[in-house]
Amino acid sequence: MPDYSTNDPKGWCGDPSRGAALGRPTILGTPEGVITVRHSPLDRQGYDRNGTYFGSGQPLFWYADEGDEVDAMERATDAEDVARELREKYPGSVVKVGESLKLPCFGAGEDPCPEKANADPEYGWDLCEYCEWTEQEEEEETGA
Nearest to 132 by CA among 32, 113, 141: 113
More confident residue, 8 or 46: 46
Residues 46 and 108 in one domain: no
Residues 91 and 36 in one domain: yes
Residues 91 and 123 in one domain: no
pTM assigned to the model: 0.83
Residues 39 and 63 in one domain: yes
The pLDDT of residue 32: 96
Q: What is the mean pLDDT of residues 77-93?
A: 97
Residues 88 and 38 in one domain: yes
Nearest to 95 by CA among 81, 77, 108, 110: 81
User: How high is the mean pLDDT of the chain?
Assistant: 90
Residue 10 located in a structural domain? no
Which structural domain range is residue 123 located in? 104-144
Residues 83 and 44 in one domain: yes
Residues 80 and 125 in one domain: no
User: To the nearest 10°, the Cα dihedral for 118, 132, 10, 85?
Assistant: 70
The pLDDT of residue 85: 97
* pLDDT tens per residue, range 41-75: 998 899 999 989 999 999 999 999 999 999 999 99
Distance CA 65, CA 7 (A): 13
Residues 46 and 79 in one domain: yes
Residues 38 and 90 in one domain: yes
Residue 59 located in a structural domain? yes
Distance CA 137, CA 92 (A): 53
Q: Total domain count for the chain? A: 2
Distance CA 107, CA 130 (A): 9
- Contact between 100 and 41 under an 8 Å Cβ cutoff? The reply is yes
Q: What is the mean pLDDT of residues 90-105?
A: 95
The pLDDT of residue 46: 93
Q: Report the percent of the chain where pLDDT is more than 90.
A: 60
Nearest to 25 by CA among 58, 68, 67: 68
Residues 68 and 120 in one domain: no
The pLDDT of residue 144: 60
Residues 119 and 89 in one domain: no
Residue 41 located in a structural domain? yes
Residues 63 and 119 in one domain: no
